[in-house]
Amino acid sequence: MKVGLIGTGLLGNSVGLHLMQSGYQLTVFNRTSEKTKELKNNGAQIVSTPKEVAKNSDVVITVIKDSNAVKQVSFEKDGIIYGNHKDLIVCDMSTINPLESKNIAEKFSKHNISMLDTPVMGGPNVAITGDLIMMAAGNKDSFDKCKELFDTIANKVFFLGENGTAHAVKLAMNLQITMLALALSEGITLVRGSKVDPKLFLEILNSTYFKTGMSENKALKMIQDKFEATFTLENLKKDINIISETSKSLGLDLPMIKKAEEIYENAVLEGFGNLDYTGILAYLKKLNEKN
Ligand SMILES: NC(=O)c1ccc[n+]([C@@H]2O[C@H](COP(=O)([O-])OP(=O)(O)OC[C@H]3O[C@@H](n4cnc5c(N)ncnc54)[C@H](OP(=O)(O)O)[C@@H]3O)[C@@H](O)[C@H]2O)c1
């Protein structure tokens, strides 16, 4: 199976490297061509349009910022549809609005292209070893054709049903990330304010039932002010905005996400967007220095 990759940001680059290490032939496009260097040095064929990626591939994976970006690379000038051929499958691994994803899948189907939503949990550090968790939705036959590829990318793959459903679950997952990052950051801020060593707080937290992967693996870096991004605060803000839009369109009231949206939006406005999403702790620190 020939695979195409569109998007070589933090996540796409690692997914691509792992696919090549696993023996897949890869054709790659990124809007900013300099960001394809590492994949090129590892043997990927770099092309200058999404159309060429589609022409050269049986399956095209998109891993890009948001639904506007997915629509651009799919349908605009030199987009995926212009490289269409028999049995082409597109897998969108970006985190986007489930309703937008459904619309994009419908638009692709008018060109006889099958699109699967394939959002993932886990960052570049687990993508590099093929240990992501994947949620997939769309046409089941297309899913079955791609299952071996998905099993290379992820160590667990869940098929959820019709287009949009995988993104809906992915949003519910990112809601967990949002709340955990805030709870951990506010806890650290509270103990710091109480003149208790935050390291001790983490040791106690991680001895209890309430420990999380985040408190065990990220929190020590957080209290050392190390916020090198694996998933940017700006991108989590984008996902919180999508959770908000989606809950509104479903007529649901999710009061915590409304508050989180305000906090993350302010953090981006104050210049914290390029940090890791756990950099919300640095924003809280600044907020409390002002007070
Ligand atoms: N990092 C993670 O841990 C993680 C985990 C799960 C899901 N995700 C999701 O995966 C997607 C990519 O995340 P990332 O962390 O790799 O983000 P990133 O490092 O910010 O990279 C974003 C990518 O999107 C491309 N892009 C943005 N706007 C575009 C446009 N209008 N047209 C074409 N390409 C465009 C960028 O191209 P340029 O290089 O030209 O800017 C870059 O390749 C996002 O939807 C994110 O929410 C990320």
73-98 pLDDT, tens digit per residue, is 999 999 999 999 999 999 999 999 99
Q: Is 277 in the pocket of ligand 1 (CB under 6 A)?
A: no
Q: Is 29 in the pocket of ligand 1 (CB under 6 A)?
A: no
Ligand 1 centroid to residue 232 C-alpha, Å: 10
pLDDT digits (tens, 9 = 90+) for 120-166: 999 999 999 999 999 999 999 999 999 999 999 999 999 999 999 99
DSSP E strands, the chain = 3-6, 26-29, 45-46, 59-62, 89-92, 114-117, 120-121, 132-137, 154-161
173-186 average pLDDT score: 98
Other CB atoms within a 10 A radius of the CB of residue 129 amount to 12
198-222 average pLDDT score: 98
Which pLDDT score, from 0 to 100, does residue 80 have? Answer: 98
**C-alpha torsion 136→70→7→157, nearest 10:** 0
**C-alpha torsion 268→274→278→280, nearest 10:** -20
Which pLDDT score, from 0 to 100, does residue 261 have? Answer: 98
Q: At what angle do helices 140-153 and 10-21 cross, to 10 degrees?
A: 90
Which pLDDT score, from 0 to 100, does residue 226 have? Answer: 98
Which pLDDT score, from 0 to 100, does residue 44 have? Answer: 98
Burial environment of residue 170 by CB neighbours within 10 A (0 to 12, 13 to 18, 19 or more): buried
Q: Is 63 in the pocket of ligand 1 (CB under 6 A)?
A: yes
Distance (Å, whole) CA 57 – CA 2: 5
Which pLDDT score, from 0 to 100, does residue 290 have? Answer: 74
Ligand 1 centroid to residue 161 C-alpha, Å: 25
Distance (Å, whole) CA 30 – CA 228: 22
Ligand 1 centroid to residue 65 C-alpha, Å: 4
Question: Which of 10, 30, 48, 64 for a ligand 1 pocket mutation test, highest count of atoms within 8 Å of Cβ?
Answer: 64
Higher pLDDT, 269 or 291: 269
Q: Is 79 in the pocket of ligand 1 (CB under 6 A)?
A: no
SS3 assignment, position 171: helix
Q: Is 71 in the pocket of ligand 1 (CB under 6 A)?
A: no
Q: What is the mean pLDDT of the chain?
A: 97
Residue 70 — pLDDT band, cuts 50, 70, 90?
very high
Which pLDDT score, from 0 to 100, does residue 189 have? Answer: 98
54-75 average pLDDT score: 98
Ligand 1 centroid to residue 240 C-alpha, Å: 15
User: pTM of the full predicted structure?
Assistant: 0.95
- Phi/psi at 195 (nearest 5 deg)? 60, 30
Residue 291 has pLDDT above 90, yes or no: no
